[in-house]
Amino acid sequence: MVVVSLVSSFVLASGNPASFETVVKGTCAGDVRFSCAKKADWTFDIRRESVGGTDELVVKLASPKEAVPPRFEVSFAFPQRDMHHLWTDFATDGGHMKPDWSGWRWSDLTHGQPLCAVHNGNNRNRFTMACSEALKRVEWRIALREENCLVIGGLRFFTAPEAPCREYEVRIRFDPRDLFWSDAVQEAAAWIAKTAKLAPCRVPESAFDPLYSTWYSFHQDVFAKDIEEECTRAAAMGMKVLIVDDGWQTEDTNRGYAFCGDWEVSRRRFPDMAAHVKRVQQTGLKYMVWYSVPFIGKKSANFNRFKGRYLYVSDARGAGVLDPRFPEVREFLTGIYVNALKEWNLDGFKLDFIDSFTFQGADPAVKQNYAGRDIRSLPDAVNRLMTDIHAALTAIKPDLLLEFRQLYIGPAIRQFGNMMRATDCPGDLQLNRLRIANLRLTAGRSAVHADMLEWHPSDTPEGAARPILSAIFGVIQYSMMLRNLPAPHQEVIRHWLDFSQRHRQTLLKGAFRVYHPEAQYPLLEAESGAERIFGVYTSGTVVPCGPLDKPVYVLNGTGTDGLIADLPTAPGRISVFDAFGNPVTGIPPVAAGLNRIPVPSGGYVRIDKSVPANPPPSGTSANRANS
């Protein structure tokens, strides 16, 4: 049922007709104030819709003539009751509620999304806020006021340079329902995409295939022969996709971007790129190539060609950032990727640094009266650029793979990319898990990828399993010199690659639930019609296994031996496996209630309601086939 209430547009600021202020009373966030200090000729129409326990505020602006839309703000406050933690799509600080003087967060097409959730310590949603503006910059906050413990919330619109227009509409959604907190977040993320009319692009099945990346293993020091040798090893372990990262286009190895922009293959590194790509594909791996989309390096031949067509030039990066509002810029970038796809028969692209399409200070186009630019709004131009690139490439190869990384992971970006990767966190298994989980909550059916895994070859096999298990609810990308890994580590990789692929429907596409964000996600859960899988990452965590109506798997990523399982009924069978996938014998009986099961670090347990009709015979390979 939808209940609609209209709020008339009227001025409360006495004696100042240039300003606007009004209050929507009685929402689930309390009284919500809308204010605009300099509205000029713009009018505001605001209405409230109550939908299934949530409130939606619809805001419409109109101007009699084309003009830059005015900055306006939405604010509200309510008592802090049973709500102590804040989740955002890129939280790395444990989700603390910060004081209201600590600043605002922001989002736009290439930076996160306007979505956050306040929850308690028992995984219950208390207040989730979302906004339908997925392209233009929105500033927002949920914070705590020291005086009287009030939760202070708000959004700000048009705080960045924006092109003139005549009308604008946005929706804001408040959800106070008593739901499991990650269910509320996933519902809000879906609402943003639906309300903003942003349909995700097609996701080929190969977007969920395990992957080898050259970045951490090689950095820029890449050569065709070395890559081909590594790909032979990767394919034997079960990997199916390769990303060749930065370095293929330059002789420089200083990890800067001064030589980006010409995108000509280093013939010393890759004497025959097309032949090299073909050899890699013959190993069974698809081939993807990295590009830094906005950058034209100062030492490239193209740098002077685009003079006057940069948003800014970064001395730190040694490169200019192209302005996609120029049609020739969009044509140039699209042509680069189309030519590479055709000439080398690639399977995909890693398109990087799209979040650099931004302003550093004033918009340079304003002084030039937008000369040469056929689109005035920068977010609209980035949207058009990516639309053009995606359309041109998929017209040639419909199943093309396109990877993007945090923070450009919102519903607008998912129109063009089918692989969303956790941003760089080398060697940090916990941060990788957090970022994968955050992406899973907001990425819909897009393939969510881990940041590339690496660990030191001197670690134990069980230690090697831990980063794998922390990333297993995303598509795993490996990036280490496989030739240098000891045989036990290689066996661990093979086992968990095999497990992840046999259970990919559940792990990567099943219903996903995240426990205790305030404690850095000690427990993750995925469920399909066939099975339920938990990953445990903090010692002592109790796993609520749920009804034994299907096989239940519990993966031990804690770094210690033993897991605690809460079972509603006594199982008919439990099967324990170590980090290599070998069965562990001598497991004591398990009853209903709390049980400590001796699962080795890096291993797992399978729990069944009853003994299978045809129990697997003894032996490692047979048990793996049935595990």
244/179 same-domain check: no
**pLDDT score at 603:** 98
Asked whether residue 183 falls in the same domain as residue 210, the answer is no
Predicted confidence at residue 2, as pLDDT, reads 54
Residue 69 has a pLDDT of 97
State phi, psi for 43 to the nearest 5 degrees. Answer: -110, 150
So what's the pLDDT on residue 616? Answer: 45
Same domain for 219 and 159: no
- Residue 500 Cα distances to 304, 340, 445, 505, 604, angstroms: 49, 32, 18, 9, 13
448 inside domain: no
Q: What is the pLDDT of residue 312?
A: 97
Query: How far, CA to CA in Å, does 422 sit from each of 263, 404, 474, 516?
Result: 25, 9, 9, 20
Series of mean pLDDT values for 10-residue runs along the chain (627 residues) = 47 59 97 97 97 97 97 98 92 76 92 95 97 97 94 97 96 98 98 97 97 96 98 97 96 88 97 98 98 97 97 95 98 98 98 96 94 97 98 98 93 95 96 96 96 97 98 98 97 98 98 95 97 98 97 98 97 97 96 97 95 48 41
Q: Are residues 158 and 95 in the same domain?
A: yes
Q: Which of 175, 195, 215 is the last residue of a domain?
A: 195
d(CA 397, CA 348): 9
Q: Among residues 4, 126, 1, which one has the least CA distance to residue 52?
A: 1
Whole-number Å distance between alpha carbons of 543 and 551: 14
- Any domain includes 318: yes
Of 283, 93, 69, which Cα lies nearest the Cα of 162? 69
Domain boundary among 138, 161, 195: 195
Does some domain include residue 450? no
The count of domains in the chain is: 3
Tell if the pTM clears 0.85, that is, is over it: yes
Q: Give residue 582's domain range.
A: 511-625
Per-residue model confidence (pLDDT) at position 8: 37
Q: Quick one: pLDDT at residue 93? A: 54
CA distance 593 to 608: 15
- 471 located within any domain: no
Cβ distance 490 to 448 under 8 Å? no
Q: Does 434 reside within a domain? A: no
Q: Among 530, 526, 531, which Cα is nearest to 511's?
A: 526
Q: Are residues 123 and 141 in the same domain?
A: yes
Other C-beta atoms lying within 10 Å of the C-beta of residue 11: 16
The answer on 260 and 160 residing in a single domain is no
| Domain annotation covers residue 441 | no
Among candidate residues 148, 167, 195, the one where a domain is terminated? 195
Are 259 and 183 found together in one domain?
A: no
Residue 192 has a pLDDT of 98
Query: By the 8 A CB rule, do 134 and 66 touch?
Result: no
Q: What is the CATH number of the domain that holds 356?
A: 3.20.20.70
Does residue 144 share a domain with residue 293?
Answer: no
Q: Please name the residue that has the structure tokens 């100042």.
A: 16
Q: Is residue 469 part of a domain?
A: no
